[in-house]
Amino acid sequence: MHPRLLALDFDGVICDGLAEYFATACRVCQRIWGAKESQLEPLRSVFARLRPLIETGWEMPLLVWGLQQGIAEAELRQDWPAQRQQLLQQSGIPSDQLAQALDQVRDEWIHADLPGWLGLHRFYPGVGAWLRQIRATGEPRLVILSTKEGRFIQQLLQGEGIQLLRHHILGKEVRAPKSTTLQRLLTAAQLPAAELWFVEDRLQTLEQVKAVPALQDAVLFLAGWGYNLPEERQQAAQDPRLHLLELAQLSQPFEHWVSTARISTPTADPTGPLPRLSIAPAGPEELDQLAGSPLIHSPERPEAGLASLVLTLVELLRQLMEAQVVRQMEAERLTPEQIERAGTSLQTLRDQILHLCELFQIDPADLNVDLGDLGTLLPRKGDYYPGQPHREGSLLELLDRLINTGIVIDGEIDLGLAQLDLIHARLKLVLTSSAKLY
């Protein structure tokens, strides 16, 4: 039992940014309300205890300001939503202005002292290595959902050596509840809800997901190491729809995450439409029928190498297209909808390649060709990321750079066999990114 789509919250699941939260919130308080550092520093421990109450980033400076105004910890804990609204009214500052100030403070800090800003974040023990392993294997499909700006998350992941495509990081710029985002992900991936696993540290968010009929079969986890209270962890442990996950379980096989007795059986809908894949070389039934095909990879059939070669070329095209998507995305030429469509198509193609590898008994790591002095067809380790060259060159990197620059091939080709010229072609080929044509 394992997920095909794994959705993770960032703060409180992957990364502990409590020190950065408090420091950034204090800087906002100093900028907006003129508070002094000496007034705010004594509030650090109280802020840490109340952090589980926070849902979105703009609430953090408001909480610090409320504490600085003398509101008791017990009073804030008892009814934070009501206190939050009252503090907004007293401050006279709308929440969107607070959010803008928070992002501006972070941007300035990152620009002035990126190492210092990164240093205030701590990935939970073992989480970074676990994420790198998932990225290396390509299974399951990984997305991050967060109320933090996606660009900040990408900075932190890169600091840990984790390369995740920007459209796999869905931050607050998505402007939708996580329950809505999860539904959109399932629709785009065309997967049943039972193949979605979601790890979140806020019980309230999980309750919202539970209330969505389309997500009733999703497998939901409360991260026990995150920003939640003991009573919330106890409630999750007693809820048949939720699973309390401990940090030590995270790096274990997925079947150790959950008791199979608590996984709900997907509700069949005989009248509903059959699931479709946006990219599907063949359905599972058709692929299973290939088990007896002469192309199946086995030591007894040397010709089975043809299957590996074809899949290698498909993987080359997939990574090449992915590189172009990344370049256009970073150049801000794509809309969020286009990014989502492209990401879903690329991941679906990746899933199909891995499924075919499984059927043909091919190790996905073997999908490569050694070109001698030219290097390899694909990078030896991991996916290629534009602008970050590997130590060892690959044809993929060369092609991506040529396409990004743009080249013209002009010449004549004669094709034949048995010393006979059979085909003559005169070519003038322009190879470039489509973005450069407009």
pLDDT per residue as tens digits for the range 84-99: 999 999 988 999 999 9
Pairing of strands 169-170, 15-16: unpaired
Cβ-proximal residues to 212 (8 Å cutoff; 6+ apart), any chain:
179, 182, 183
Q: How many CA atoms lie less than 13 Å away from 77 in the CB half-sphere?
A: 12
193-197, 252-256, 424-428, range with greatest mean pLDDT: 193-197
391 forms beta bridges with none
For 5-14+121-262, the fitting CATH number among 3.30.2290.10, 3.30.565.60, 3.40.50.2300, 3.40.50.1000 is 3.40.50.1000
Comparing C-alpha atoms, which of 143, 147, 125, 122 is closest to residue 134? Answer: 143
For residues 3 and 219, the answer to whether their CB atoms sit within 8 Å is: yes
Dist. CA 13–CA 8, nearest whole Å: 7
- pLDDT for 259 equals 57
Dist. CA 190–CA 348, nearest whole Å: 9
- pLDDT for 169 equals 92
Q: How confident is the model at residue 349 (pLDDT cuts 50, 70, 90)?
A: confident
For residues 236 and 206, the answer to whether their CB atoms sit within 8 Å is: yes
Q: How confident is the model at residue 40 (pLDDT cuts 50, 70, 90)?
A: very high
Question: In the structure encoding, which two tokens stand for residue 4, read together?
Answer: 């095909």
Q: How confident is the model at residue 83 (pLDDT cuts 50, 70, 90)?
A: very high
The DSSP code for 429 is: E
For residues 141 and 6, the answer to whether their CB atoms sit within 8 Å is: yes
172-198: pLDDT as tens digits: 788 888 999 999 999 888 899 999 999
- pLDDT for 313 equals 87
6 has pLDDT over 80: yes
Pick 32 or 434 by higher pLDDT: 32
Q: How many CA atoms lie less than 13 Å away from 122 in the CB half-sphere?
A: 6
Dist. CA 33–CA 62, nearest whole Å: 10
- pLDDT for 195 equals 94
Comparing C-alpha atoms, which of 368, 371, 362 is closest to residue 382? Answer: 368
How distant, in Å, are the alpha carbons of 18, 102, 307, 355 from that of 301? 57, 62, 11, 20
